[in-house]
Amino acid sequence: MTAPPERIRIFDTSLRDGEQSPGCSMGPAQKLRFALALAELGVDTVEAGFAASSEADAEGIARIARALRGTGVGVCSLARCRPGDIEAAARALEGADAPRLHVFIATSPLHREHKLGFSPAEVVDAAVRAVEHARRLVDDVEFSAEDAIRTEPEFLEAVFGAAAAAGARTLNVPDTVGYTTPAEIEALFRRLRAALPANAVLSAHCHDDLGLAVANSLAAIAGGARQVECTVNGIGERAGNAALEEIVMALSVRKDRFPFRTGIDTTRLVPTSRLLSRITGMAVQRNKAIVGANAFAHESGIHQHGMLKHRDTYEIMRPETVGWARSQMVLGRHSGRAAVNERLAFLGFSLDEAATERLFTRFKALAEKKKEVFDADLEALVLGEDANSAGWQLTAFHLSTGAGQGEQPAAAVELRAPDGEAHFGRGSGDGPVHALFAALTEARGLHLDIESYAVHSVSSGEDAQGQASLSTRHEGEELSASATSTDILEASALAWLALAQRIARRRTGPPGAVPAGADTATEARA
């Protein structure tokens, strides 16, 4: 019987190291919500914060510790090698099933001299006393040597050996400033693995200052690391930490080079990434590996043709494996007939050869003017009119801010249905956009669970155009829509209606769908 692959423990520090990065601060309720998502994702340990840094952080750790009871997920608090820090961390972790106390001290010559003013012997003494103190309070203690990569290897062996003897189960080797390279860190881990007790778990914590955090983490695993400290979306100090999703999928896809396993449910990677983006407001770049919008998107005609023939030609993993609904054929100036025809079929249209050729010519002309041709654009080309004009119209709307004490913002809207009948809706919410969407829901008779909402300017000046973009999931696929207006609330309402129209079209079939043999959209509707 073959033994199962060795497990790599995933230590997520999004709520501690990640949350420290500018723009990623989270409130207690947000941290709790994300901790629950991390448990669902399947991480081994959640580093929930730094208890001694503030009362709010300590309370947040305590709430997470209680909430994750029974999940099998460990909860950790960071602490300096100071008695007060260690005791604050232990108090915050009292409600946890599997509490871990993570103590650290700087070890490099640069930090010893300029930050601590300690001799090497004083650093070792402080580390030992901190680990012993922590072990009296919790069973599971992790010790980190801050700036380990720039520490003398022989001193690193000494301080880790002393920490292990004092009771530390996990020994973390942080590349605090993102300085190392894959060959260098692999060699260091091999050296430490040979020198330190076999029962001590070696951990890697890599920063991305040179863009090597994930590569260095994988090299550390090759050298003997069995825990990786990482963050969702790679958030973290300065250029960020090693991205959890990239490490996990590298281990999954390249089992020939990394014969290991993790406990991560990879289908939760995209939803967890999106949740973090919504909580922090920090969007993921489109070309971000695994979770970026372009990760499984293909625009080049050559690539699209290959994908339609056999998806392995240009994809090394399945989008469904990481939580995407499907690969995307992004239509643009580089797209070919095969991709356009595939998208038309997906939208429910069927054109004969002559009509298809004429539509492709119009598509190419449009693609020269736009970066991307969206489904709504393609539908408009087929129908010979604005795809939304045949749908519901926003004829009037009114908003009140709820300035009085205890009053919520309220909205009223008037819509015109395709048959000309007027429909009215009212709603209230936490803000004007929330209230507007509630009113639209009542008037349209359709509820949308909006997953993302973003606005930005698309021109300049007093009468600048603003664009609102929304997305939701429908039958496992992400659908999005956008609209522009000089009034961003009007743009938001128009985008909501466009998204509702797309969902309604999916349920009933495209209006005026062109049957095989019909030459134009006008013929099909005649």
pLDDT, tens only, 95-117: 999 999 999 999 999 999 999 99
Q: How many CB atoms lie within 10 A of CB 141?
A: 26
User: Measured on CA atoms in the order 363, 514, 307, 249, is the torsion positive or negative?
Assistant: positive
Q: What is the DSSP string of 86-119?
A: HHHHHHHTTT-SSEEEEEEEE-SHHHIIIII---
Alpha helix (H) residue ranges in 148-297: 153-166, 182-195, 213-223, 244-253, 269-280
pLDDT, position 9: 98
Per-residue model confidence (pLDDT) at position 135 = 98
Residue range(s) of every CATH 3.20.20.70 domain in the chain: 9-280
Q: Where does the chain hold its CATH 3.30.160.270 domain(s)? A: 393-508
Predicted local confidence at residue 201, as pLDDT: 98
- Dihedral sign for Cα atoms in the order 143, 145, 146, 149: negative
Name the 3-class secondary structure at 520.
coil
Q: Where are the beta strands (DSSP E) in 156-309?
A: 170-175, 201-206, 227-230, 260-261, 297-298
Closest to 472 measured CA to CA, from 505, 442, 495, 443: 495
* Residues in the chain, overall count: 526
CA 395 from centroid of its chain's CA atoms: 37
- pLDDT for the residue numbered 161: 98
Nearest CA to 222 out of 205, 240, 209, 204 is that of 204
Token pair belonging to 272: 């967890």
Pick out the chain residues at pLDDT < 70: 1, 296-314, 316, 324-330, 346-348, 371, 374-376, 379-380, 383-390, 403-406, 457-465, 476, 505-526
| Token representation of residue 239 | 């250029």
Domain spanning 9-280: CATH superfamily: Aldolase class I (3.20.20.70)
Pick the CATH number of 393-508 from 3.30.160.270, 3.75.10.10, 3.20.20.70, 1.10.510.10: 3.30.160.270
The partner residues of 79 in beta bridges, in order of sequence, read 103
- pLDDT tens per residue, range 394-439: 999 999 877 666 688 999 999 999 888 999 999 998 889 999 999 9
pTM of this structure: 0.69
Q: Please name every residue paired with 143 in a beta bridge, in sequence order, or none if there are none.
A: 103, 171
